[in-house]
Chains A and B, each alone.
Chain A
Amino acid sequence: MTTSIVDAESLLAIDIGTINTRALLFDIVEGQYRHIATGTALTTAGVPYLDVGEGIHRAIQNLQDLTGRVIIGPSSEVILPMAANGAGIDQLAITYSAGPELRVVIAGLLPDVSISSAQRLVATVNSRVVETIGITDRRRMEVQLDAIVHAKPDLVIISGGTDYGANRSVLKVVELILLACKVTAKGQIPEVVFAGNKALADRVKEFLGRYTRVTLLSNLRPSVDVENIDSNLNAFIEVVNRIRGEQIGGLAAFAALGNTCVMPTPLAFGRMIRFISCVNKEKGVLGVDLGASAATVAIAVGGKLSLNVYPLNMGAGHLSQRAIEGVMRWLSADIPEAVVRDYLWQKTLFPASLPLTHQSLLIEQAAARYILQTVTQLAMMRGQYAGRGFEPVIASGAVLSFTPQIEQSLLMLLDGLQPSGITTLILDPNGVMSAMGAAAGLNSVIPVHILESGAFLNLGTVIAPYSRARYGSKVLQVRVVYEQGGDARYEIKQGTLALLPLENGQVARLHLSAINGATLDATGKVRSANFKVIGGVCGIVIDARGRPIALPSDKARRREMLCKWRDALGISDSGIELAR
Chain B
Amino acid sequence: MIAPVTHFLPLTKIRRARLLPVSGRVVVRVGQKVSAVDVVAESLGSGKHVIVDVWQALGFSATSRSEKWVGRKVGETVQVGDVIAETGGLFRKVVRAPVEGQIIAIGGGQVLLETKGEGTAVLAGFSGVVEELVPERGAIIEGSGALIQGVWGNQRIGMGTLQVVASAPDEELRADRLDVSLRGAILVCGYCADAGVFAKASDLQIRGLILASMASSLIPAARKVDYPIVLVEGFGNLPFNQVAYKILSTNEKREVAVNAALWDIYQGERPEIFIPLPAEGEMAAETDEFHPGQIVRIQGGDFPERTGRIVEVYPYPCPISNGLKVLAARVELADRESVVPLANLDVIE
| Inter-subunit contact B22/A49 (CB<8 Å) | no
Which residues of the other chain, A, contact B217 by a CB distance below 8 angstroms?
A: 338, 341
A360 to B219, CA, bound (A): 21
Q: Which of A182, A342, A350, A356 is B104 in contact with, Cβ under 8 Å?
A: A182
| Inter-subunit contact B112/A179 (CB<8 Å) | yes
| Inter-subunit contact B300/A142 (CB<8 Å) | no
Q: Please count how many residues in chain A sit with their CB below 8 Å of the partner chain's CB atoms.
A: 60
Which residues of the other chain, B, contact A259 by a CB distance below 8 angstroms?
A: none
Which residues of the other chain, A, contact B341 by a CB distance below 8 angstroms?
A: 353-354, 356
Within 8 A of A (CB), among B127-162: 151-152
Please tell me if B91 contacts chain A, counting CB pairs below 8 Å.
no
Please tell me if B168 contacts chain A, counting CB pairs below 8 Å.
no
Which residues of the other chain, A, contact B151 by a CB distance below 8 angstroms?
A: 349-350
Please tell me if A471 contacts chain B, counting CB pairs below 8 Å.
no
- Pick from A140, A341, A405 the residue with the most CB of B within 10 Å: A341
B-contact bits for A354-383, CB 8 A (1 contact / 0 none):
111110110000000000000000000000
| Inter-subunit contact B324/A346 (CB<8 Å) | no
Q: A183-B49, A356-B322 are contacts. A346–B287 as well, Cβ < 8 Å?
A: no
| Inter-subunit contact A142/B322 (CB<8 Å) | no
Please tell me if B31 contacts chain A, counting CB pairs below 8 Å.
no
Please tell me if A339 contacts chain B, counting CB pairs below 8 Å.
yes
Which residues of the other chain, B, contact A397 by a CB distance below 8 angstroms?
A: none
| Inter-subunit contact A575/B323 (CB<8 Å) | yes
| Inter-subunit contact B286/A183 (CB<8 Å) | no
Stretch at the interface among A40-48, A153-161, A230-238: A40-48
Within 8 A of B (CB), among A124-181: 140-142, 145-146, 149, 175, 179
A339 to B193, CA, bound (A): 12
Within 8 A of B (CB), among A430-473: none
Q: Which of A145, A360, A405 is B323 in contact with, Cβ under 8 Å?
A: A405
A42 to B23, CA, bound (A): 34
A577 to B321, CA, bound (A): 6
Q: A142-B49, A183-B104, A356-B344 are contacts. A46–B324 as well, Cβ < 8 Å?
A: no
Which residues of the other chain, A, contact B235 by a CB distance below 8 angstroms?
A: 317, 341-343, 345-346, 349
| Inter-subunit contact B324/A342 (CB<8 Å) | no
| Inter-subunit contact A349/B46 (CB<8 Å) | no
A349 to B152, CA, bound (A): 8
| Inter-subunit contact A185/B301 (CB<8 Å) | no
Please tell me if A50 contacts chain B, counting CB pairs below 8 Å.
yes
Q: A142-B50, A577-B321 are contacts. A47–B265 as well, Cβ < 8 Å?
A: yes
Which residues of the other chain, A, contact B4 by a CB distance below 8 angstroms?
A: 42
A357 to B50, CA, bound (A): 57
A360 nearest CB neighbor, chain B only: B300
Q: A41-B1, A175-B108 are contacts. A345–B321 as well, Cβ < 8 Å?
A: no
Nearest-neighbour CB distance to chain A for B104, whole angstroms, equals: 5
A55 to B21, CA, bound (A): 27
Q: A185-B22, A578-B301 are contacts. A354–B344 as well, Cβ < 8 Å?
A: yes
A-contact bits for B1-18, CB 8 A (1 contact / 0 none):
110110000000000000
Within 8 A of B (CB), among A536-580: 575-580
| Inter-subunit contact A146/B1 (CB<8 Å) | no
B-contact bits for A246-288, CB 8 A (1 contact / 0 none):
0100000000000000000000000000000000000000000
| Inter-subunit contact B104/A404 (CB<8 Å) | no
A333 to B297, CA, bound (A): 28
Which residues of the other chain, B, contact A311 by a CB distance below 8 angstroms?
A: none
Please tell me if A402 contacts chain B, counting CB pairs below 8 Å.
yes
Please tell me if A5 contacts chain B, counting CB pairs below 8 Å.
no
Which residues of the other chain, B, contact A149 by a CB distance below 8 angstroms?
A: 46, 49
Which residues of the other chain, B, contact A338 by a CB distance below 8 angstroms?
A: 215-217
| Inter-subunit contact A578/B302 (CB<8 Å) | yes
B151 nearest CB neighbor, chain A only: A349
| Inter-subunit contact B23/A185 (CB<8 Å) | yes
Which residues of the other chain, A, contact B236 by a CB distance below 8 angstroms?
A: 339, 342-343, 346
| Inter-subunit contact A146/B343 (CB<8 Å) | no
A226 to B270, CA, bound (A): 48
Which residues of the other chain, B, contact A526 by a CB distance below 8 angstroms?
A: none
Other A-B pairs, 6, CB within 8 Å; known A578-B301, A578-B320? A48-B5, A188-B22, A317-B216, A342-B237, A356-B344, A357-B302
Cross-chain pairs A/B with CB under 8 angstroms, 28 sampled = A41-B1, A41-B2, A42-B2, A42-B4, A141-B51, A142-B49, A145-B51, A146-B48, A149-B46, A247-B266, A342-B235, A342-B237, A345-B219, A346-B234, A346-B235, A349-B152, A350-B234, A354-B300, A354-B326, A354-B343, A355-B322, A356-B320, A357-B301, A357-B322, A360-B300, A576-B322, A578-B338, A579-B321
A residues lining the B interface (CB < 8 Å): 41-42, 44-50, 54-55, 58, 99-100, 140-142, 145-146, 149, 175, 179, 182-188, 247, 317, 338-339, 341-346, 349-350, 352-358, 360-361, 402-405, 575-580
